[in-house]
Amino acid sequence: MTLYASLIGLLVGLAARASAANNTAVVENYQPQLEARLFPEFTKFWESHRTSWQSQSAISRLQTDRYARLQNASSCHPLPYCLVSAYAISQSDQDTIATALKASNASGALISAWPQYVNGTNHILRVYGDGDSPLYPEIDSISYTANSSEYELFLGTLNNFTAMSQPPLPPPLDAFAFASSLLSANDRLEAIAYPDLWTSPTLNGPALRRSKHLNWERYQYAAILIPGEGPEIYGVPISPLGKLRSRIAASFFAKPNTAPFLIPSGGNVHPNLTTYTEALEMSKWLQGQLNVKVEDIAIEPYARHTTTNLRNGARVLQRLGAPKGKKVLIVTDVSQRDNIMPTVTAAVIETGEHINENDEMVDQIQNLFGETPKAISLFSNS
Ligand SMILES: *[C@@H]1O[C@H](CO)[C@@H](O)[C@H](O)[C@H]1NC(C)=O
Ligand SMILES: *[C@@H]1O[C@H](CO)[C@@H](O)[C@H](O)[C@H]1NC(C)=O
Ligand SMILES: *[C@@H]1O[C@H](CO)[C@@H](O)[C@H](O)[C@H]1NC(C)=O
Ligand SMILES: *[C@@H]1O[C@H](CO)[C@@H](O)[C@H](O)[C@H]1NC(C)=O
Ligand SMILES: *[C@@H]1O[C@H](CO)[C@@H](O)[C@H](O)[C@H]1NC(C)=O
Ligand SMILES: *[C@@H]1O[C@H](CO)[C@@H](O)[C@H](O)[C@H]1NC(C)=O
Ligand SMILES: *[C@@H]1O[C@H](CO)[C@@H](O)[C@H](O)[C@H]1NC(C)=O
């Protein structure tokens, strides 16, 4: 009797929730987080323009056109290409939205980031929808055969579920939402891993607290950056070079007044879809084997290549409040050292960072590379 009553209660509860949402597509928790991480300037804009955006006639027209395109794609050929292209932000969509952003007084940061957001979205759609080869295929490829009947069924069902929902999402959120679903389908949610990075007592909370009362002047370098080197064997948490770079970095760190922080850097990279995070494993090694205290470590757990080790390292420095222009010591080995200097330009191109002399982040990046090599040469004859 009690069981029966509570079942009825449950069913009534579910029905109430479904009708409150009026059958709009149910959003998974990772989606808003991921979209805020990938498109931060748009997310900020959206908070204050949620209602005014769709009242612009150019946007409501585009919404209607794209909605027709997506519905039409429910029986298109050849899959998956036709479906993925329906979601892509075309040049004309991009221009319409750019004009509407300007008309809405969007921030300069959003206006200049918008072409990058379009590129990024279309790139996700091509790689994780259509199975195109990414820049680093061995670690970043789609997990499934894009044109297999299973993946096509998944894409078709996802499209029917999202494109048939009423009211449809306004552009560009329809494309962002499809792209984030594809990242999730391929278990590529590392960008929102460690949401408590800067508060957790086992992650960067203690370092951030310490940075607030730090006399940076005392130190020769703002930090010692340790780019990770992932293992190639499944189940191995940290590679031989990962351990060794940590040890060398700890030996520099032990010299008085060298640097206030160690920044181990690297995400879940090698091997493909590993569950280990390079930065975290190096931090554990530094603490467990090299007696470095947690408050002396600020991990950077998102980088996927030397380029992003450097860019994201600069972001960590900014967060810690490091003085602009203070040098960083990069501890690595001769192989990566020889890659780092030629990577300067690549870092800027590949990550799409704008070169703008007023941009603090670029100052930090330039500072990382400087005119004099910051990558110290260890174990090299040169
Ligand atoms: C949901 O439907 C109700 C009643 O039909 C309506 O009053 C409400 O505005 C709708 N909500 C949304 C978000 O469309
Ligand atoms: C609908 O799809 C068909 C075939 O896939 C295509 O030829 C046509 O241009 C599409 N129409 C729209 C409005 O996208
Ligand atoms: C944009 O800013 C201008 C000048 O400050 C103002 O006149 C206009 O109403 C604003 N438009 C919107 C859509 O907020
Ligand atoms: C977008 O990507 C194209 C190549 O796919 C490139 O030529 C262009 O510079 C990129 N634009 C931005 C803003 O990143
Ligand atoms: C990466 O791992 C996934 C899941 O195990 C697998 O389907 C895919 O083929 C792998 N990709 C590469 C390039 O090894
Ligand atoms: C799937 O794509 C591959 C390469 O892109 C192609 O060789 C293969 O014939 C395609 N399979 C089907 C069923 O279309
Ligand atoms: C999607 O909807 C269309 C139109 O109702 C239907 O023909 C098609 O079979 C559906 N596709 C999937 C994968 O459910």
Q: Whose CA is nearest to atom 11 of ligand 7?
A: 156
Is 131 within 8 Å of 99 (Cβ atoms)?
no
Instruction: Note the pLDDT of residue 19.
Output: 37
Question: Does residue 288 carry a pLDDT above 90?
Answer: yes
| C-alpha span between 323 and 44 (Å, rounded) | 27
Instruction: Note the pLDDT of residue 18.
Output: 36
Q: Whose CA is nearest to atom 7 of ligand 7?
A: 75
pLDDT tens for each residue of 312-328? 888 898 899 988 777 78
Atom of ligand 4 nearest to the CA of 119: 1
The chain-wide mean pLDDT, for the chain, equals 83
Atom of ligand 7 nearest to the CA of 156: 13
Q: 65 C-alpha to center of ligand 2: Å?
A: 12
Ligand 3 contact via 381 beta carbon (within 6 Å): no
Rounded mean pLDDT, 105-112: 95
Comparing 369 with 216, the larger pLDDT belongs to 216
Rounded mean pLDDT, 17-37: 71
Q: Whose CA is nearest to atom 4 of ligand 5?
A: 143
Q: 48 C-alpha to center of ligand 3: Å?
A: 13
Q: Whose CA is nearest to atom 13 of ligand 5?
A: 138
Of 4-13, 106-115, 209-218, 311-320, the poorest mean pLDDT is in 4-13
Nearby residues of 18 by Cβ (< 8 Å), 6 or more positions away: none
Is 257 within 8 Å of 218 (Cβ atoms)?
yes
Is 38 within 8 Å of 177 (Cβ atoms)?
no
Question: Does residue 95 carry a pLDDT above 80?
Answer: yes
* Candidate from 70, 71, 75, 159 with most ligand 7 atoms within 8 A of CB, to mutate: 75
Rounded mean pLDDT, 69-82: 93
Percentage of the residues of the chain whose pLDDT score is greater than 70: 81
Ligand 3 contact via 74 beta carbon (within 6 Å): no
H-assigned helices in the chain: 2-20, 30-38, 40-54, 57-72, 81-87, 91-103, 108-128, 137-140, 149-163, 173-185, 205-211, 240-253, 278-290, 306-320, 334-351, 360-369
Comparing 381 with 21, the larger pLDDT belongs to 21
Instruction: Note the pLDDT of residue 11.
Output: 38
Neighbours of 330 (CB within 10 A): 27
| C-alpha span between 54 and 171 (Å, rounded) | 9
Q: Whose CA is nearest to atom 4 of ligand 7?
A: 74
Q: Whose CA is nearest to atom 5 of ligand 7?
A: 74
Instruction: Note the pLDDT of residue 252.
Output: 87
DSSP assignment, residue 169? Answer: P
pLDDT tens for each residue of 139-185? 999 999 999 999 999 999 999 988 777 778 999 999 999 999 999 99
Instruction: Note the pLDDT of residue 20.
Output: 39
Q: Whose CA is nearest to atom 1 of ligand 5?
A: 272
Ligand 4 contact via 354 beta carbon (within 6 Å): no
Amino acid at site 314: A
Which of 346, 338, 282 is CA-nearest to residue 308?
Answer: 346
Instruction: Note the pLDDT of residue 340.
Output: 59
Atom of ligand 3 nearest to the CA of 104: 13
Instruction: Note the pLDDT of residue 118.
Output: 96
Ligand 4 contact via 257 beta carbon (within 6 Å): no
In terms of phi and psi (left: phi > 0; alpha: psi -120 to 50; beta: otherwise), the region of 234 is beta
Q: 345 C-alpha to center of ligand 5: Å?
A: 30
| C-alpha span between 248 and 243 (Å, rounded) | 9
